[in-house]
Amino acid sequence: MTDAHPTDEQLSAALDGADQAAADHAAGCPSCRTRLAQLQAVATAVAVPPAPLDQLAKERAMAQALASARGASARNESTVSLSARRRVPGWVGIAAAVLVALVVVPLLVRDGPSGNDVASKSTGQGSVADVASEVAAADGGDLGSVDDAQALRAIVAPGLGQSMAAGGAGSAADSTGAAGQGAARPNAGRGPAASPTSTTVPAAPQAQNAPASGLTTGGRPNPPCASTTRQRYGQGLASLVYAATLTWQGTPAVALGYSVTTSGGSLNHRVFVLARSTCIVLTVLSL
Amino acid sequence: MAAARDGDDQALDQLLRRHYDRIYAVCRRLAGNDADGADATQEALIAIVKGLPRFDGTSRFSTWAYRVSVNRTLDELRRRARRPSVGLDDAVLTSMAAAPIDVAQRVDVDQALSRLPVDFRACVVLRDLCGLDYAEIAHVLAIPPGTVRSRIARGRAALVPLLGNPAPDPGRPSPQP
């Protein structure tokens, strides 16, 4: 190495392992070693990742990205289904509705506990704590086809308001063993239609004019994707207070509304719309 | 990856989740604040999803994703033209590096980075935050590797006084443009 000091560019490259001569010089030169340490301090400071985005914002971004992927295909499917519908006789639709009522709905709720004994059954999908949080969900019914967040918000909000009013004094059956004793549990007051004296969870109020979704009939606590939602986004979520089926931008989906534990703000509920088959989040609302 | 490219929602979800934190980090650092960082990340994710069918696999997915993310973020920054520092010329950059700064004026990483021209900021972030080498950064930003090396050096030098370190020894040679 010559006596000439390396430039900042050379020292910076030395920091990156791209200039061995400059690194060798700095090893024996106090001035350059100091400068190298300064550049290293900058690199170290920049290397610290920023604080992560909150989970809700992350899920929104993910949902938007996935929705953009589905956009074109959903439009194509919509076109196909409209043209195909013209060729389908009317009785096929009736038969399909009967089939759904007889087969699909029982399948959806088959893992839930029997309506009269929440405490005695395991759902097979979620933890006991999960079940305790899900027992009082209102059945929002089948919301039909919904394509944008604003429309969904308008549909879901009354259901959440209804559930909040109905659940003001209630406590739900406690799947941890308090059932049968009329024990209250945390957050039970947020849930709808829960009886303070009975272990039976009565049918929850439905959204106006919406047919039952079958997700919470008779207090069935475990709609599709509830366990996944708990596992992934459980932080900050209290009770599941609302469940409904819908077709979101062409994708069969469930809407799960949770009360949230954050206080002091106007954010009271979070509604996840998840693809029914994969439980991927399609969109998230804060209400 | 192949499944995600073929439209498998679950595979796409997993792919995005795996890379989300890094994508957010680079968007956030380039944007300079939470709100713009979140917007830029969302735009970047959408661009990645839409561009995925065109990803040819000649580079690592992460490198390609960075490229999409950085370009989206820089486009957004330029479009909004919110940053008065965007377009700082060489003289300003050099004076930033040379000017002594009082302790009270020292700023955090975001503020420091926001004072760099975006092209320099991108190089420094991709190198020091994302750990890309010069060739990968050159690929991401579509500039020559020599330019990457120069911008990283000049960017770091400009950040030295801003991130709480003493001003450089005036007797030392200044970086070459």
In a domain, residue A164? The reply is yes
Per-residue model confidence (pLDDT) at position A221: 56
What is the tally of structural domains in chain A?
2
Average pLDDT over residues A91-113: 53
Which among A177, A163, A176 is positioned nearest to A244, based on CA atoms? Answer: A163
Residue, of A23 and A206, whose pLDDT is higher: A23
Per-residue model confidence (pLDDT) at position A88: 45
Per-residue model confidence (pLDDT) at position B98: 52
CA atoms within 13 A on the CB side of A140: 30
Which residues form the domain of A26?
A: 8-47
The reply to whether A33 and A13 lie within a common domain is: yes
| Residue A276 pLDDT grade (very low, low, confident, very high; cuts 50, 70, 90) | confident
In a domain, residue B166? The reply is no
Per-residue model confidence (pLDDT) at position A122: 34
The reply to whether B20 and B71 lie within a common domain is: yes
Residue, of A53 and B44, whose pLDDT is higher: B44
| Residue A27 pLDDT grade (very low, low, confident, very high; cuts 50, 70, 90) | very high
Nearest Cβ partner of B153 from A12, A41, A53? A12
| Residue A173 pLDDT grade (very low, low, confident, very high; cuts 50, 70, 90) | very low
Question: Do residue A50 and residue B7 have CB atoms under 8 angstroms apart?
Answer: no
Chain B residue numbers touching A41 (CB-CB < 8 A):
160, 163-165
The reply to whether B65 and B97 lie within a common domain is: no
Model confidence pLDDT, tens digit, residues B27-42: 999 998 888 888 899 8
In a domain, residue B168? The reply is no
Other Cβ atoms less than 10 A from the Cβ of A158: the count is 12
The reply to whether A34 and A62 lie within a common domain is: no
Tell me the nearest-neighbour CA distance from A47 into chain B, angstroms. Answer: 4
Among residues B80, B100, B131, the one where a domain terminates is: B80
In a domain, residue B174? The reply is no
Query: Lowest-pLDDT range, A99-103, A278-282, B20-24?
Result: A99-103
Average pLDDT over residues A198-204: 34
Model confidence pLDDT, tens digit, residues A238-250: 778 888 889 888 8
Tell me the nearest-neighbour CA distance from A149 into chain B, angstroms. Answer: 16
A239 backbone dihedrals φ, ψ, rounded to 5°: -85, 145
In a domain, residue A2? The reply is no
Does pLDDT of A202 surpass 70?
no
In a domain, residue B164? The reply is no
Two structure tokens written together for A226: 């509830």
Residue, of A48 and A121, whose pLDDT is higher: A48
Question: Do residue B34 and residue A9 have CB atoms under 8 angstroms apart?
Answer: no
Highest mean pLDDT, choosing among A45-54, A205-214, B96-105:
A45-54
The reply to whether B139 and B75 lie within a common domain is: no
- Which residue numbers in chain B have pLDDT < 50? 83-89, 100-106, 176-177
For an interface test with A, give the residue of B172, B174, B176 to mutate (most A CBs within 10 A).
B172
In a domain, residue A61? The reply is yes
The reply to whether A138 and A103 lie within a common domain is: yes
Per-residue model confidence (pLDDT) at position B164: 54
A135, A116 in Cβ contact below 8 A?
no
Which chain B residue's Cα is nearest to A232?
A: B17
The reply to whether B74 and B100 lie within a common domain is: no
Which chain B residue's Cα is nearest to A68?
A: B46
| Residue A1 pLDDT grade (very low, low, confident, very high; cuts 50, 70, 90) | very low
Give the CATH number of the domain where residue B101 resides. 1.10.10.10
Give the CATH number of the domain where residue B10 resides. 1.10.1740.10
Chain A residue numbers touching B126 (CB-CB < 8 A):
none
In a domain, residue B41? The reply is yes
| Residue A52 pLDDT grade (very low, low, confident, very high; cuts 50, 70, 90) | confident
Among residues B23, B57, B80, the one where a domain terminates is: B80
The reply to whether A24 and A157 lie within a common domain is: no
The reply to whether A42 and A150 lie within a common domain is: no
Q: Please enumerate in sequence order all residues whose Cβ is within 8 A of that of B42, keeping only pairs 6 or more positions apart, or say none.
A: A60, A61, A64, A65
B117 backbone dihedrals φ, ψ, rounded to 5°: -55, 145
Question: Do residue A43 and residue B24 have CB atoms under 8 angstroms apart?
Answer: no
The reply to whether B25 and B73 lie within a common domain is: yes
The reply to whether B39 and B20 lie within a common domain is: yes
Per-residue model confidence (pLDDT) at position B132: 93
The reply to whether B67 and B22 lie within a common domain is: yes
Among residues B57, B80, B103, the one where a domain terminates is: B80
Does pLDDT of A64 surpass 60?
yes
In a domain, residue B136? The reply is yes
Instruction: Tell me how far apart the alpha carbons of residues B173 and A127 are, in angstroms, rounded to a whole number.
Output: 65
The reply to whether B61 and B25 lie within a common domain is: yes
The reply to whether B110 and B142 lie within a common domain is: yes
In a domain, residue B50? The reply is yes
Per-residue model confidence (pLDDT) at position A185: 33
Average pLDDT over residues A152-172: 59
The reply to whether B10 and B30 lie within a common domain is: yes
The reply to whether A21 and A111 lie within a common domain is: no
Which residues form the domain of B139?
A: 90-159
What is the tally of structural domains in chain B?
2
The reply to whether A32 and A121 lie within a common domain is: no
The reply to whether A42 and A105 lie within a common domain is: no
The reply to whether A158 and A104 lie within a common domain is: yes
Query: Lowest-pLDDT range, A38-47, A72-81, A153-162, A191-200?
Result: A191-200
Per-residue model confidence (pLDDT) at position B64: 92
The reply to whether A229 and A107 lie within a common domain is: yes
B145, B138 in Cβ contact below 8 A?
yes
Query: Lowest-pLDDT range, A20-29, A43-52, A276-285, B68-77?
Result: A276-285
The reply to whether B11 and B76 lie within a common domain is: yes
Does pLDDT of A23 surpass 90?
yes
| Residue A22 pLDDT grade (very low, low, confident, very high; cuts 50, 70, 90) | very high
The angle that helices A55-85 and B9-31 make with each other, rounded to 10 degrees, is 140
The reply to whether A123 and A25 lie within a common domain is: no
The reply to whether A254 and A132 lie within a common domain is: yes
Exposed/middle/buried for B161, CB within 10 Å: 0-12, 13-18, 19+? buried
In a domain, residue A162? The reply is yes
